Amino acid sequence: MKIYQLNNDFRYQILMTKNGSDLYILKRLGCPLTNGWEKLEVYVPASRKDRPSSDFPGFLPNAPVFGPKAKEIFQDVLEQYGEFLELDVEGRDNCFLYNTLNNLTALDEINSDVIRFTDGRIMDIKKYVFVEELVRDEIIFKIPEDPGSIFVSDEFVSIYKNNVLSGLVFKEVWSNEQ
């Protein structure tokens, strides 16, 4: 089993919010937002329109955006781990921000390589080691020690590759294989 950090592939188009004040909503990611959600208006900036579109337009590292095809493929697999929040995308089919609600205390801090602030909080994680029993059956999750990252399993990566999707890059950060 392997765990990957999910990242945007910046060779493709990215999205930006039309109204900068909408970003306050995104500070609440990780908490349920479905009730009362109003579609955010987003657009592809002029400087990125020459890039190809993808199934996962870039947005924020802790908030992947799924295009219609990607949402259809992943919806049944991911709906128990988070929520799809509709975005109003100027000039193209609407996309869906995925709010990952699956927060796990699964980092093995003792065996991971972490850099700490003087007060003991984690500043950076150089090497991730996860508690295998806690991540074994998880497809997508976050950890409190690194709230800006989303982690996915082999199964997620396999679905992505088998459906020839585009827009994401996967960085392997942990494996239980020798």
pLDDT single digits (tens) 27-36 = 888 999 988 8
Helices (H) and strands (E) in the chain, counts: 4, 11
pLDDT on residue 38: 87
Average pLDDT, the chain: 93
pLDDT on residue 106: 97
Residue 59 half-sphere exposure toward CB, CA atoms < 13 A: 26
Q: Which residue has the tokens 């088998």?
A: 162
pLDDT on residue 61: 79
pLDDT on residue 178: 59
Residue pair 125/143 in contact by the 8 Å Cβ criterion: no
Exposed/middle/buried for residue 150 (C-beta within 10 Å: 0-12, 13-18, 19+) = buried
pLDDT on residue 65: 97
pLDDT on residue 177: 82
Low-confidence ranges of the chain (pLDDT < 50): none
